[in-house]
């Protein structure tokens, strides 16, 4: 979102209107919406929540858009807290690209690359 925001600040009104129309018509979707990608494997909760809040708030205020898909493009490990926090933020799916080659091979052989990750949810 930080890079999109930088473009947005410099964009003309015509470009902004065009982008808003694409979002409104469902021709442009956003995933994750964090201000930046956090370190998923060893994240610091406050930073994770803060950067997600900034990005999600900007999307909502700018486009009246709330994403439903979380994504980490290149994580170096996974933490169940990420899945749990994404779930609590309202995301209904979470995609990631990097997986241990042995785990991937096993999942490919078992046809189980897709999975439902049910992280532990703490009661508040």
Q: pLDDT-derived band of residue 45, with 50, 70 and 90 as boundaries?
A: confident
Looking at residues 37-53, what average pLDDT do you find?
80
Which tokens belong to 74? 């290149």
Active site residue 74: yes
Q: How does DSSP classify residue 114?
A: S
Q: What is the percent of the chain with per-residue pLDDT over 90, rounded to a whole number?
A: 44
- Give residue-wise pLDDT tens across range 65-106: 999 988 877 666 667 777 788 888 888 887 777 777 898 899
Residue 8: CB atoms within 10 A of its CB come to: 14
Q: Is 95 helix (H, G, I), strand (E, B) or coil?
A: strand
According to the model, what pLDDT value does residue 83 have?
Answer: 78
Does pLDDT of 36 surpass 90?
A: no
Structure-token match 């909502």, residue found: 60
- Out of 21, 39, 50, 74, which one is annotated catalytic? 74
The domain segmentation of the chain, as residue ranges, is 31-124
According to the model, what pLDDT value does residue 113 have?
Answer: 83
According to the model, what pLDDT value does residue 120 have?
Answer: 64
């Amino acid at each position: 979102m930080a890079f999109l925001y930088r473009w947005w600040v410099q964009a003309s009104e015509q470009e902004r209107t065009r982008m808003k129309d694409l979002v409104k018509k469902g021709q442009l979707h956003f995933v994750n919406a964090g201000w930046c990608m956090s370190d998923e494997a060893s994240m610091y909760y406050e930073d994770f929540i803060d950067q997600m809040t900034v990005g999600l708030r900007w999307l909502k205020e700018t486009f009246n858009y709330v994403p439903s898909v979380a994504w980490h493009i290149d994580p170096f490990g996974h933490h169940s807290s990420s899945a749990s926090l994404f779930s609590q933020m309202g995301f209904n799916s979470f995609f990631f690209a990097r997986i241990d080659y042995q785990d991937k091979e096993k999942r490919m052989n078992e046809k189980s690359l897709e999975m439902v990750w049910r992280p532990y949810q703490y009661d508040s």
